[in-house]
């Protein structure tokens, strides 16, 4: 019988010499120095979450934990590198054996060691988005799906559907029913594609990014040896942004933790805003039940915002029922200025106020890089982009491309450009290529047919486009779509004259493009909103040439800057961002726009009366508020007179009712003689 002999570490002062009590506030110190076990750290906005995790790793190393026994799971490689880098700066321990990275990168490391168990080899390939698209396209092509009458979802959309099912643990049918109900009639065909895609990956020794999670979970669930190996290896597991974990990530954490390993999950339930991509807030709310006997630490000291902003933020989030109780406290002195509540006449006035106030702040010493304009959805930034451009204020957009550079906007505008310039080959080919079965070869043949018709060089418009174009030979797959395409062009030039820009764009959207949009993009609703916003903007133009010229001038990022913008083109820029993209960032001054019901909160969520979704919208509002350090402007238009469906009276966002009026200062916007709003 073997003799047991235990090694004991000699007790000594921490090797790094860190004074944890002096370096951390009481709340952080309690979490960092907590004993082994299961712990949830609720770290409020601006409370030093990264600092807490970093010092926790240093504490473990200083108290005898081998670096190879620590696993740090993050959502970005940047976060992992930052934390490990800070640990190296803090202490002298060797961290080269510490496992730190995203869930996907850790899954990849595990699978490289055990791929054979799952039928792959260790040299498996990882499919990127284009690889996945090509593989799915090949599978769809081999199934001979009849798409003559109705479009079948494109590979990018199918990939998004499969990914959502994998990450939420929902069935394919449930995903279609909840988020892509317009594809339910294709359920059998989509299921066949999914099954063949799964088999094709195995046959070609390939995995996509979702497999790096799902196959890791499958390995740990089904293989006792592998599960025991990693549970023994990782004695301390730390998870960043725990509120953003989905079903697969939650299960992966459970399996690695097992019954005896320590787990510290750090996050903020009030900043859980990603359910639309599979994040499950119940992971953080249900942590004490998921891990019985766990401790909950709350870090409420905020180092970012002035007290006036935090008081408003705390009041706003209290309306949510599903939350941990906490109140952020500012480490800063009062500013003496309340957040501004600004009612404006219409979206144009909203943009004018934002533009002028940004100029004021800059003149008062606030760098443009410390100013942000935040919004619920990208389409809400159009008026702001136009206004800042007109004022020569440089800006950067983190929520997407500049408005008129987006693919779906350029698709729609191709119709308008072609009917006004019948020799525009680029617009013609872009336009016809939207039809199924119409690739570059077919597009070239159709262009040649158009040139041969003689109408390309005539000054006058065709009496009816359909009389000319319907005679052109197109693939059988395109026949029905080509017919509708021709009729849509007829609507753009009724009686041989150009319709108004808004009417033309609406005809293209409803006639041919909406169906294409659904089949081609997984974020259909957002892209349609973008188009509707451009239609609304176009109502101020009666002349199509003037409208197209304005679109062209606005679509160039690299064009020649003018005026003040030229002086600052390489310097500071105002940030325009969706709130989702702004999470984790901060600015001295923040403008939050379009605070009206239907815009924020989202109209679909208001109509559904889904309390959980409404609470997530309120958390999104809270995230926006807590981005501001010094100045906060809450802005809502009272009227939307330029809607192409008619004037709309706007109701202030219901979120503005969640806090006492005394927490904000109302601003009345008047028109001066020199700066008319």
Catalytic residue status for 78: no
Catalytic residue status for 200: no
Q: Which has the closest alpha carbon to 616: 380, 240, 275, 175?
A: 275
Is the Cβ–Cβ distance between 392 and 564 less than 8 Å?
yes
**Which residues, in sequence order, are bridge partners of residue 380?**
none
d(CA 435, CA 478): 6
The phi, psi pair for 395, rounded to 5°, reads -145, 155
Separation in Å, CA 378 to CA 72, 404, 406, 599:
33, 12, 11, 11
Kindly state the DSSP code that residue 513 receives in the 8-state scheme: I
Catalytic residue chosen out of the listed positions 241, 269, 411, 530: 241
Catalytic residue chosen out of the listed positions 627, 629, 631, 642: 627
* 306 torsion bin: left (phi>0), alpha (psi -120 to 50), beta (else): beta
Tell whether the torsion through CA atoms of 131, 132, 133 and 138 is positive or negative: positive
Catalytic residue chosen out of the listed positions 33, 50, 301, 550: 50
Catalytic residue chosen out of the listed positions 49, 56, 376, 629: 49
Catalytic residue status for 588: no
Give the CA dihedral 297, 303, 305, 306, nearest 10 degrees.
110
Catalytic residue status for 233: no
d(CA 271, CA 266): 12
Q: Which two tokens stand for residue 618?
A: 């309120």
What H or E segment, with its residue span, contains residue 351?
helix 347-363
Q: How far is CA 164 from the centre of its chain?
A: 14
Asked if the bond preceding 608 is cis, omega within 30° of 0, the reply is no
R_g of the chain, CA atoms, integer Å? 28
DSSP string, 63-108: TT--GGGEEEEESSHHHHHHHHHHHHHH--S--TT-EEEEHHHHHH
Residues 6 or more apart whose CB falls under 8 angstroms from that of 187 comprise 172, 173, 176
Catalytic residue chosen out of the listed positions 240, 370, 503, 617: 240
d(CA 427, CA 423): 9
d(CA 386, CA 355): 10
In the three-class reduction of DSSP (H, G, I as helix; E, B as strand; rest coil), residue 392 is classed as coil
d(CA 232, CA 260): 9
Catalytic residue status for 665: no
Catalytic residue chosen out of the listed positions 231, 245, 257, 271: 271
d(CA 9, CA 141): 64
Catalytic residue status for 129: no
Give the CA dihedral 561, 567, 570, 574, nearest 10 degrees.
-80
Active site residues per annotation: 49-50, 240-241, 271, 627
């Amino acid at each position: 019988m073997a003799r047991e002999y235990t090694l004991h570490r000699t007790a000594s002062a921490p090797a790094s010499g860190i004074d944890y009590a002096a370096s951390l506030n009481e709340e952080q110190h309690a979490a960092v120095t907590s004993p082994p076990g299961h712990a949830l750290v609720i770290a409020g906005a601006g409370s030093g979450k990264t600092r807490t995790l970093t010092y926790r790793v240093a504490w473990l190393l200083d108290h005898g934990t081998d670096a190879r026994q620590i696993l740090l799971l993050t959502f970005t490689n940047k976060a992992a590198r930052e934390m490990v880098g800070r640990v190296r700066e803090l202490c002298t321990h060797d961290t080269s054996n510490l496992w730190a990275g995203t869930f996907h990168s850790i899954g990849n490391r595990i699978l490289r060691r055990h791929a054979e168990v799952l039928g792959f080899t260790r040299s498996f390939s990882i499919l990127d988005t284009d690889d996945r698209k090509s593989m799915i396209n090949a599978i769809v092509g081999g199934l001979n799906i009849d798409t003559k009458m109705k479009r079948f979802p494109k590979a990018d959309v199918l990939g998004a559907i499969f990914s959502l099912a994998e990450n939420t643990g929902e069935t394919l049918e449930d995903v279609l029913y909840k988020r892509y109900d317009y594809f339910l009639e294709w359920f059998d065909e989509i299921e066949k594609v999914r099954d063949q895609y799964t088999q094709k990956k195995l046959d070609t020794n390939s995995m996509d990014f979702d497999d790096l999670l799902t196959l890791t979970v499958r390995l740990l669930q089904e293989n006792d040896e592998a599960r025991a190996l990693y549970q023994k290896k990782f004695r301390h597991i730390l998870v960043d942004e725990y509120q953003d974990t989905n079903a697969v990530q939650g299960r992966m954490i459970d399996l690695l933790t097992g019954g005896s390993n320590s787990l510290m999950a750090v996050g903020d339930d009030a900043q859980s805003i990603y359910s639309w991509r599979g994040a499950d807030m119940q992971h953080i709310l249900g942590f004490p039940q998921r891990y019985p006997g766990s401790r909950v630490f709350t870090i409420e000291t905020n180092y970012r915002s002035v007290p006036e902003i935090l008081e408003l933020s705390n009041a706003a989030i209290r309306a949510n029922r599903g939350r941990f109780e906490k109140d952020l406290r500012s480490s800063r002195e009062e500013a003496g200025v309340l957040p501004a509540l600004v009612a404006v006449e219409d979206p144009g006035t909203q943009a004018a106020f934002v533009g002028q106030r940004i100029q004021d702040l800059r003149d008062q010493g606030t760098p443009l890089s410390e100013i942000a304009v935040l919004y619920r959805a990208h389409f809400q930034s159009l008026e702001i982009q136009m206004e800042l451009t007109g004022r020569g204020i440089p800006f950067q957009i983190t929520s997407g491309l500049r408005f008129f550079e987006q693919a779906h906007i350029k698709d729609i505008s191709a119709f308008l450009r072609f009917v006004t310039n019948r020799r525009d080959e680029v617009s013609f080919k872009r336009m016809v290529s939207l039809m199924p079965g119409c690739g570059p070869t077919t597009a070239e043949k159709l262009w040649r047919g158009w040139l041969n018709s003689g109408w390309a060089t005539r000054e006058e418009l065709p009496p009816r486009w359909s009389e000319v174009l319907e005679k052109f030979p197109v693939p059988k797959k395109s026949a029905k779509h080509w017919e509708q395409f021709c009729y849509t062009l007829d609507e753009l030039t009724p009686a041989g004259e150009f319709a108004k820009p808004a009417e033309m764009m609406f005809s293209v959207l409803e006639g041919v493009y909406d169906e294409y949009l659904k089949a081609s993009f997984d974020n259909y609703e957002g892209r349609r909103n973008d188009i509707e916003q451009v239609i609304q903007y176009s109502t101020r133009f009666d002349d199509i040439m003037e409208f197209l010229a304005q679109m062209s001038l606005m679509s160039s990022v690299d064009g020649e800057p003018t005026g003040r913008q030229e002086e600052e083109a390489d310097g500071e820029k105002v940030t325009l961002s969706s709130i989702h993209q702004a999470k984790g960032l901060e600015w001295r001054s923040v403008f939050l726009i379009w605070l009206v019901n239907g815009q924020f909160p989202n109209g679909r969520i208001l109509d559904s009366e889904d309390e959980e979704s409404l609470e997530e919208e309120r958390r999104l509002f809270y995230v926006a508020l807590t981005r501001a350090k010094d100045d906060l402007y809450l802005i809502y238009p009272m009227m939307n007179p330029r809607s192409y469906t008619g004037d709309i009276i706007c109701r202030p966002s219901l979120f503005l009712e969640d806090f006492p009026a005394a927490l904000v200062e109302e601003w009345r916007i008047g028109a001066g003689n020199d700066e008319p709003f």
